[in-house]
Amino acid sequence: DSGVTQTPKHLITATGQRVTLRCSPRSGDLSVYWYQQSLDQGLQFLIQYYNGEERAKGNILERFSAQQFPDLHSELNLSSLELGDSALYFCASSPRTGNNEQFFGPGTRLTVL
């Protein structure tokens, strides 16, 4: 167990819908990263937050957004869902920017029907 928690574990929804994925980092970790893992694209970095502020962006679609709250948990919002958004979504946390070690949560499996 990495200490990073994610909810829900599974999510099944329909095209066009909106969902919210939640992540709680390890105690004391200030950075949260979101990754998408699909069969054809592998593990792709989406976005990073550090202590409530956006720090880096990757290949995140405009339909996706995220935020990190004062208690350091983070939410990833996915809207206007398409079939191709079906994937495993992982968050990872690290102690502070400057320490690269990232520990992954168990992931949320999103299925868009």
Partner 1 sequence: GENVEQHPSTLSVQEGDSAVIKCTYSDSASNYFPWYKQELGKRPQLIIDIRSNVGEKKDQRIAVTLNKTAKHFSLHITETQPEDSAVYFCAASKRDYKLSFGAGTTVTVRA
State which of residues 29, 64, 90, 112 lies at the interface with partner 1 (CB under 8 A).
90
Instruction: Reduce the secondary structure of the chain to three states and give it as a string.
Output: CCCCEEECCEEEECCCCCEEEEEECCCCCCEEEEEEEECCCEEEEEEEEECCEEEEECCCCCCEEEEECCCCCEEEEECCCCHHHCEEEEEEEECCCCCCCCEECCCEEEEEC
Per-residue x/- track, 39-78, partner 1 (CB under 8 A):
---xxxx--x------xx-x--------------------
Give the residue, chosen from 2, 17, 51, 111, that forms a contact with partner 1 under the rule CB under 8 A.
2
Q: Which residues bind partner 1 (CB under 8 A)?
A: 2, 31, 33, 35, 42-45, 48, 55-56, 58, 90, 94, 97, 100-107
